[in-house]
């Protein structure tokens, strides 16, 4: 595969003598910002009215906003596995939130090829800053073992529930945060992670880099700094309070802290995130690399209902049905915004149907990297550049909790199977998203042929996993 070099980067005269080395220097930097549990309606450019996200909105105005983009799964670890490997949940190695002792989550196998490993073959320096969740330090899933030159943040998803932890990780070094000793709140983890991400950009400004920024905001514990809380106090009444874990042996080890002003805290956290995005954009501009950097913003799944969160108050899923852990649209359809100055036209809106497993082939085509065989994704670079786009035959998801859930999207048809542990039978809900985006009208009974096709896809798309067995395969 030849590297994608935009024509605007070379004049017609220099293009004749432009060496391979010169072209490599023009490879775009890639910044991928992944919010945690941010719903489809949680950005003002996607309809949020109770607070605003001006920096992310500006990103959308300067690039392309996708209205039918899907995550890898409806919870964190499998969603990230899909993103990193280019495989949907019927194929990707990590298919659930499975803990690993002494800390962290089940490791991504060493044989997996990640986006970071793929980009390193093209000379990219790679960094991950935020929540990893795909393997403890020194396991095969360690981010340093999966293609990332630098990692800073939470290795463990459970510990990432809390915003004033006792430690973070910098590669293999455990960074003890004494400012948070004895219930203190001296070191706010998103700030620490953000500073390291900005430092990574600064340190690698003269060569191609891939910055993966999986922030913890606005997941789980509702916790924001006072200056942001003060922006919303008394403005989002009636408030919602939550009594959590504020001391004892489990304090800051996963259970969420109390929050008496849940509405203000949620708005404050996303406002903080928006400011972080603004600072990243400002840093790219300050360093003179804005024009040669593609910035992507997405979320790992739909809005959560934990720790006092109130997605109905904020209409966090917009017109969609469902939340995190649901296979309805609200659980798996989330924002995607992409900006690439001079390549993607401004104020663009796309209804191309895409998913996390498309990111690997898209970045492969942009960078000229060889893509691993057997991926499930399709590059959406043609959509970004306004060209003819190939479409998926179907998208597939599976979720192994709450009795097992499976979903398929085929054209505008959407099938959802609950209680999948009892087997893939004919008890499937069917919706026509072109007429019923909110999935309110189950039309399975009147479309038996479509239901039959959906059952066939569900059986075809799933492969067995010893680590993550799914009961429906036995029925």
- The per-residue pLDDT for range 274-325, each reduced to its tens digit, is 999 999 999 999 999 999 999 999 999 999 999 999 999 999 999 999 999 9
DSSP for 314-343 reads HTTTTT----TT--SHHHHB--EEEE-TTT
Which secondary structure element, helix H or strand E, spans residue 293, and what is its range? strand 293-299
Give dist(CA 412, CA 34) in Å, integer: 26
The structural domains of the chain, with segments of one domain joined by +, span 28-392, 396-474
pLDDT at 422: 79
Q: Is 352 in contact with 383 (CB distance < 8 Å)? A: yes
| 396-474: in CATH 3.30.1120.10 | yes
CA distance 455 to 408: 9
Inter-axis angle of helices 189-203 and 262-286, nearest 10 = 10
Strand ranges for 171-228 from DSSP E: 173-176, 209-214
Instruction: Tell me which residue has tokens 């001079």.
Output: 342
Beta-carbon count within 10 A of 83 CB: 29
Please tell me the distance from the alpha carbon of residue 221 to that of residue 160, in angstroms, as a whole number.
9
* Domain at 28-392: CATH architecture: 3-Layer(aba) Sandwich (3.40)
> Residue 140 has what pLDDT?
97
| CA–CA distance, 424 with 442 (Å, rounded to integer) | 17
pLDDT in tens, 162-215: 999 999 999 999 999 999 999 999 999 999 999 999 999 999 999 999 999 999
The long-range contacts involving 12-20, CB below 8 angstroms and separated by at least 24 positions, are none
Please give the model's pTM, rounded to 2 decimal places: 0.94
**What are the pLDDT tens digits along the chain (475 aa)?**
333 333 333 333 233 333 444 444 589 999 999 999 999 999 999 999 999 999 999 999 999 999 999 999 999 999 999 999 999 999 999 999 999 999 999 999 999 999 999 999 999 999 999 999 999 999 999 999 999 999 999 999 999 999 999 999 999 999 999 999 999 999 999 999 999 999 999 999 999 999 999 999 999 899 999 999 999 999 999 999 999 999 999 999 999 999 999 999 999 999 999 999 999 999 999 999 999 999 999 999 999 999 999 999 999 999 999 999 999 999 999 999 999 999 999 999 999 999 999 999 999 999 999 999 999 999 999 999 999 999 999 999 999 999 999 999 999 999 999 998 877 665 899 999 999 999 999 999 999 999 999 999 999 999 999 999 987 765 5
Residue 424, pLDDT score: 63
Tokens standing for residue 287: 């360093």
Q: State the DSSP H helix or E strand holding residue 83, giving kind and residue range, or none if neither.
A: helix 76-85
For 172, the token pair is 């293999």
Question: Alpha-carbon distance 431 to 437, whole Å?
Answer: 8
């Amino acid at each position: 595969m030849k590297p994608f070099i935009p024509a605007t980067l070379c004049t017609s005269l220099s293009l004749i003598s432009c060496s391979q080395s010169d072209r490599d220097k023009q490879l775009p930097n890639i910044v991928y910002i992944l919010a945690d549990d941010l719903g489809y309606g949680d950005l003002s450019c996607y309809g949020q009215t109770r607070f605003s996200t001006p920096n992310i909105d500006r990103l959308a105005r300067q690039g392309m906003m996708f209205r039918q983009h899907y995550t890898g799964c409806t919870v964190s670890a499998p969603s990230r596995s899909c993103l990193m490997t280019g495989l949907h949940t019927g194929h990707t190695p990590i298919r659930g939130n499975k803990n690993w002792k002494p800390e962290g989550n089940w490791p991504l196998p060493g044989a997996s090829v990640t986006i970071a490993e793929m980009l390193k073959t093209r000379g990219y320096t790679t960094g991950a800053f935020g929540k990893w969740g795909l393997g403890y330090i020194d396991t095969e899933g360690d981010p340093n073992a999966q293609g990332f030159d630098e990692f800073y943040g939470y290795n463990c998803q459970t510990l990432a529930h809390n915003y004033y932890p006792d430690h973070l990780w910098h590669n293999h070094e455990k960074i003890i945060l004494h400012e948070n000793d004895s219930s203190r709140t001296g070191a706010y983890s998103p700030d620490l992670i953000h500073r390291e991400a900005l430092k990574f950009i600064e340190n690698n400004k003269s060569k191609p880099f891939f910055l993966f920024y999986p922030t913890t905001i606005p997941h789980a514990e509702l916790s924001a700094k006072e200056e942001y809380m003060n922006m919303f106090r008394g403005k989002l009444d009636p408030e919602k309070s939550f009594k959590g874990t504020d001391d004892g042996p489990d304090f800051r080890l996963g259970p969420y802290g109390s929050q008496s002003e849940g509405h203000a805290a949620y708005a404050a956290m996303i406002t903080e995130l928006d400011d972080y995005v603004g600072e990243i954009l400002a840093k790219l501009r300050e360093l003179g690399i804005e024009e040669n950097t593609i910035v992507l913003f997405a979320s790992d799944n739909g809005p959560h209902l934990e720790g006092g969160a109130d997605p109905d108050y904020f209409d966090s899923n917009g017109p969609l049905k469902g939340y995190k852990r649901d296979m309805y649209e609200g659980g798996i359809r989330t924002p995607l915004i992409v900006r690439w100055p001079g390549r993607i036209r401004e104020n663009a809106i796309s209804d191309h149907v895409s998913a996390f497993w498309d990111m690997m082939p898209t970045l492969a085509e942009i960078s000229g990297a060889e893509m691993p065989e057997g991926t499930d994704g399709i590059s959406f670079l043609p959509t970004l550049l306004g060209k003819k786009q190939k479409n998926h035959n179907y998208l597939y998801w599976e979720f192994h909790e709450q009795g097992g859930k499976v979903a398929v999207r085929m054209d505008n048809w959407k099938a959802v199977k609950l209680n999948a542990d009892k087997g893939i039978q004919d008890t499937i809900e069917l919706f026509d998203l072109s007429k019923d985006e909110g999935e309110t009208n189950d039309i399975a009974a009147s479309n038996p042929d479509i239901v039959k096709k959906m059952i066939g896809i569900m059986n075809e798309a799933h492969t067995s996993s010893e680590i993550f067995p799914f009961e429906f395969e036995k029925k």
